[in-house]
Amino acid sequence: MPSSPGPVPPPAVVELRRYTLRPGRREELIALFEREFTETQEAVGMSVLGTFRDLDAPDRFVWLRGFADMTARHRALTDFYGGPVWAEHGPRANATMADSDDVLLLRPRATGSGFPVSPAARPPVGAPAPDRFVAAVLWSFPLGRDQGVELLRDGLLPVLRATGPEPLALLSTEDAPNTFTRLPVRTGENVAVVLLSYADEDAHHRHAAAVRAHPLARAEVLPGLARERTAPARVLRLAPTGRSLIT
């Protein structure tokens, strides 16, 4: 199996991928993914950033991978999905999936939002899942308007930092065309994702309450986001798998 590289530059393009699996097959896919698809994707130029069980959907697998740019994305996906690893193990992976097209193509929108992680630090195959809780908060805004994302970056992120742990990332829709059409992505949306990590879900709830009570958030930030958003924010409740770099 290819070895993982050392520290890599933060990706400029990130996919948030949510797979709906056939009933009872999530553990099968996770084991296959962590054994066969982690280092082998990184060997052709991708970063496997985080892999998660969705706590609200027992047949949902969520993961993020990053790329240096859109050109590198096309090259890496072409090499991987046209290569021997996917030819050998892809049919078994596909057999676990009912839907794999729920994919957001995103880009970092704040300093420190590019996942500066080192694949060399990844736990080995078979490592136990860490006792951590990750929240991915999804915001939807009108097409063609950047005010909501700017309010997240300049308003909500400072409040999050003041009231709890440093957010892992702020990502928003990458508008460049999907040049690897073999793997569809969602289009016609203006989405932002705030990613946060906690010791447990109770810590997440305490942080959310502290944000709601913060004077700036209460007076300006949250009302501003309520005006800009096109739907209530949605929280993905995620549990990192054993080899996830985002924990």
Express each pLDDT in 112-126 by its tens digit.
655 656 888 899 999
Residue 4: predicted pLDDT = 47
CB-based contacts of 68, cutoff 8 Å, min separation 6: 9, 11, 12, 13, 45
- At 161, list the tokens: 């930092």
Q: What percent of the chain has pLDDT over 90?
A: 91
Question: Do the beta carbons of residue 105 and residue 184 sit within 8 Å?
Answer: no
Question: Do the beta carbons of residue 190 and residue 173 sit within 8 Å?
Answer: yes
| Mean pLDDT in order along the chain per 10 residues (247 residues) | 59 97 98 98 96 98 97 98 98 98 95 69 96 98 97 98 95 97 97 97 98 98 98 98 96
Question: Do the beta carbons of residue 168 and residue 246 sit within 8 Å?
Answer: yes
Express each pLDDT in 68-83 by its tens digit.
999 999 999 999 999 9
Question: Do the beta carbons of residue 207 and residue 160 sit within 8 Å?
Answer: yes
Q: How far is CA 11 from CA 106, 121, 215, in A?
A: 10, 17, 34
User: Using the 8-state DSSP alphabet, how is residue 117 labeled?
Assistant: -
Question: Do the beta carbons of residue 32 and residue 89 sit within 8 Å?
Answer: yes
Residue 82: predicted pLDDT = 98
CA–centroid distance for 166 within its chain? 16
Q: 125 exposed, middle or buried (CB, 10 Å; 0-12, 13-18, 19+)?
A: middle
Strands 190-198 and 133-141, sheet pairing: antiparallel
- At 91, list the tokens: 């049919």
Residue 3: predicted pLDDT = 47
Residue 114: predicted pLDDT = 57
3-state SS string over 162-200? HHCCCCCEEEEECCCCCCCCCCCCCCCCEEEEEEEEECC
Residue 87: predicted pLDDT = 98
Model confidence, pTM:
0.95
